[in-house]
Amino acid sequence: MIKYVFLDLDDTVLDFHKAEEVAIQKTLRHFGVTPTEKTVARYSAINQAQWKLLEQGKLTRAEVKLRRFSLLFEELGVQIDAEAARTFYEEALSHGHYFIAGAEQLLQDLCKDYALYIASNGTTAVQNGRIASAGIAHYFEEIFLSEQIGAVKPTKAFFDHCFARIPQFDRHEAIILGDSLTSDIQGGIHAGIKTCWFNPKGECAGGEVRPDFEISALEEFLPLLKSL
């Protein structure tokens, strides 16, 4: 029986890519660069690659925040201060929220029978701003952010911290739902809890990371929990 549900925030509850698109467009315009579709897509790819390096322990969070802009501006051949861009971008990102289809209803339903927790690698100020903007904090027993914890998903240290904060926690009664195989699912495996991959695009898992369960729409998650 499941009692504890850990939810990733970005692209599981809130649509990060939409928020990212809006924030980077605002940032580029602010610094005098026309935000073309190609440029926005390139930033997203660069940004995602840097966060993967963070998960692997190859970059620090501070390096990720600046490197994504330095690399983009170098490719564009423009002279813009990466720190100034980071500051503006994070402020813009913290005010935007767009729900993944079915997320609001899922939270309303889950909170009736399960203890809910956010488990996110996102920047503290940005995530707290987006959570506040979305008005969803009251659904969660606690919000676990890697920047505050000092460890990132998928490390065991991140989850050990979370578990230690939950009275009488039993990992056999816990599950994590997230869209990232390398962060959420691998992290759940490291932590010894059940894992559910949110895979709306129908991607092939491949590799060695194998989730216990997989759903393509959030509406599928509650029936799955009730069956366990």
> How far is the C-alpha of 187 from the C-alpha of 153, rounded, in Å?
6
> How far is the C-alpha of 13 from the C-alpha of 196, rounded, in Å?
14
Residue 126: strand, helix, or coil: helix
Q: Report phi then psi at 194, rounded to 5.
A: -70, 155
The residue with tokens 């490390």 is: 155
8: annotated active-site residue? yes
Catalytic residue among 8, 11, 15, 184: 8
The residue with tokens 């695009």 is: 201
Tokens of 112: 């009736």
Neighbours of 3 (CB within 10 A): 15
Residue 136: strand, helix, or coil: coil
Decide if 224 contacts 196 (C-beta within 8 A). yes
Indicate which residues carry an active-site annotation: 8
